[in-house]
Structure 1
Amino acid sequence: MSKPTLILLPGMPLDAALWTHQTDHLAEVAEVRVGDLTAHDSMADLARAVLAAAPRRFALAGLSMGGYLAFEILRQAPERVTKLALLDTSARADTPEQTANRRQAVELARQGKYRQVIAGNLPRLLHPAHAEDRTLVESVYAQAERIGADAYVRQQTAIMNRSDSRPGLSAIRCPTLVLCGRQDAITPPEVHVEMADAIPGARFVPVEDAGHLAPMERPQAVTALLREWLVYA
């Protein structure tokens, strides 16, 4: 019996390293792939690119921007997604304040201050207990450097122009896991409860002692939850 395909969608400005533990430890139960979220500046185009590279049916998990993209993939091809996991994300569109902050970050990145932008955002990405974890912090910087300022600008543009996905939540029919770091300062637990309450049969699980990057901060816990969702949901 062939293994199901699991497509993991990283947040911004992160890459496959976000999912290292999950990719390594879920390989025995799924064919794990990581989507590329760098080539386009709209959610619609990014979704078309992921779908073009994907098998006919697949499980889908997205963190932050990856979650926003997962909703767009569901809008375009709901019949192709067998299972859905939403991590440290939100179904809401940006507020005017969030959009203004993104535009400021884009301008700084264009001015050559990209690393400064990443540094300024780090305290909101990580649980305070992990902010001094040198390996974790350097991994975030290394991922951001690999993504680069140009792709970062495209990602911010896609995020700023994304749709409010809340009206479509009740139409989601696949087994859905919603999880986040208990101390996520960017997409806090209440927005995950909002999603889980609106998606029929969805399960919400907060991950203790984690911020916005739960798969890196609490890798074993997140991998265990994803394994359970893949195998038993």
Structure 2
Amino acid sequence: MTWTIRPRSKFGALSAICAGDGPSVLLIHGVGLRAEAWGGQLDALAQTCRVVAVDMPGHGHSARLKDDPCLADFTDAIVALLSGPTVVIGHSFAAMIALDIAKRHPALVQGVAALNGIFQRDSSAKQAVMARAAGLDGKTAADPSAPLDRWFGEVPSAARDACLAWLCDVDPAGYRDAYRVFAAGDGPSEQSLSGLQCPALFLTGRDEPNSTPEMSQRMADLTPLGRAVILDGAAHMLPMTHASQVNTLLTQFIKETQR
């Protein structure tokens, strides 16, 4: 039931799930998913916060961007949802978006959390992700089996089933657009991290092979108010697989940003 489809509000070309009242929190999901990927967090965070979980452009009920978008295009589209200081939380590719929002719009970001974010991939990881991006034609749905195996292994679960449904339903062009930007990117620059002045949380799983613990720790070390947290037994989809632990960490982080 956690990942049941929920009603949305419209924000121009974007759609989002909105809940709760209090400090402003924006949740941004990863490539191929939709706002319900934050189903494990929405109700918990909405107890004390005003939560907006957006459908990334080209996903869920949100319109695609222009052809061949870049990271700044995703950032510019999503930052339009912010009307005041907000804690911005992004997962996977959206960790790149969240950190870019924090860099380019510091007055609107009270804190930033990058979950399973990448940073300076090695050559083999770059080759693998670029090869996956090259195989996307934007017309036919990508085979979901490979990402599901990377995220969950072969163990059946409700979270795996939910991601399967979303990957099969996503607009192939929207998926391609986002994945190409994700593949071409290398995470935030060292300069942008050292220039962040808001609190920053870098969270990943101990068993994450792509957005590795080392990446999160290095980003935290470069960020003046940054810290890294590595969850034992977790991998790429920790917001879904380790929701309770993630909720505790995010709730505490949001409180810290309000001081």
Higher relative contact order (CA 8 A, sep 6+): 1
Of the structure 1 ranges 36-45 and 101-110, higher mean CA displacement relative to structure 2 is found in 101-110
CA contact (8 A) 1:90 1:195 kept: no
1:140 and 2:163 are equivalent in the alignment: yes
- Pick the aligned partner of 2:97 from 69, 85, 108: 69
Counterpart of 2:75 in structure 1: which amino acid?
A
1:78 corresponding residue in structure 2 = 106
2:23 corresponding residue in structure 1 = 4
The CA deviation string for residues 18-74 of structure 1, in whole angstroms up to 9 with x for no partner, is 210111111011111123323233211111111112222211011110111112212
TM-score, normalised by the number of residues in structure 1 = 0.88
Deviation at residue 214 of structure 1 after TM alignment: 0.6
**Inter-partner Cα distance in structure 2 for 1:164 and 1:179:** 14
CA contact (8 A) 2:92 2:117 kept: yes
CA contact (8 A) 2:139 2:173 kept: no
Name the SS for the 1:66 alignment partner: helix
1:46 corresponding residue in structure 2 = 74
**Inter-partner Cα distance in structure 2 for 1:62 and 1:164:** 13
Deviation at residue 4 of structure 1 after TM alignment: 1.2
Name the SS for the 1:53 alignment partner: coil
Counterpart of 1:32 in structure 2: which amino acid?
V
**Inter-partner Cα distance in structure 1 for 2:138 and 2:32:** 17
1:56 corresponding residue in structure 2 = 84
- Pick the aligned partner of 2:232 from 184, 187, 208: 208
Deviation at residue 210 of structure 1 after TM alignment: 1.0
CA contact (8 A) 2:199 2:225 kept: yes
1:162 and 2:185 are equivalent in the alignment: yes
1:16 and 2:29 are equivalent in the alignment: no
Aligned pairs for 1:114-133 within 5 A: 114-116=141-143, 118-126=144-152, 128=153, 131-133=154-156
1:34 corresponding residue in structure 2 = 53
**Inter-partner Cα distance in structure 2 for 1:206 and 1:99:** 23
Counterpart of 2:170 in structure 1: which amino acid?
I
Query: Compared with structure 1, are the counterparts of its residues 65 and 164 closer, same or farther at alpha carbon in structure 2 (3 Å cutoff)?
Result: closer
Aligned residues: 227
Query: Compared with structure 1, are the counterparts of its residues 46 and 207 closer, same or farther at alpha carbon in structure 2 (3 Å cutoff)?
Result: same
**Inter-partner Cα distance in structure 2 for 1:106 and 1:124:** 15
2:205 corresponding residue in structure 1 = 181
Counterpart of 1:137 in structure 2: which amino acid?
R
2:222 corresponding residue in structure 1 = 198
Name the SS for the 2:171 alignment partner: helix
TM-score, normalised by the number of residues in structure 2 = 0.80
The CA deviation string for residues 111-148 of structure 1, in whole angstroms up to 9 with x for no partner, is 866342x211222223x5xx413312111111213323
- Pick the aligned partner of 1:101 from 128, 131, 134: 128
Query: Compared with structure 1, are the counterparts of its residues 175 and 101 closer, same or farther at alpha carbon in structure 2 (3 Å cutoff)?
Result: same
Higher helix proportion, which one? 1
Query: Compared with structure 1, are the counterparts of its residues 111 and 147 closer, same or farther at alpha carbon in structure 2 (3 Å cutoff)?
Result: closer
CA contact (8 A) 2:138 2:173 kept: no
1:218 and 2:246 are equivalent in the alignment: no
Q: Structure 1: state its 5+ residue gaps.
A: none
CA contact (8 A) 2:114 2:202 kept: yes
**Inter-partner Cα distance in structure 1 for 2:134 and 2:165:** 21
Of the structure 1 ranges 189-198 and 54-63, higher mean CA displacement relative to structure 2 is found in 54-63
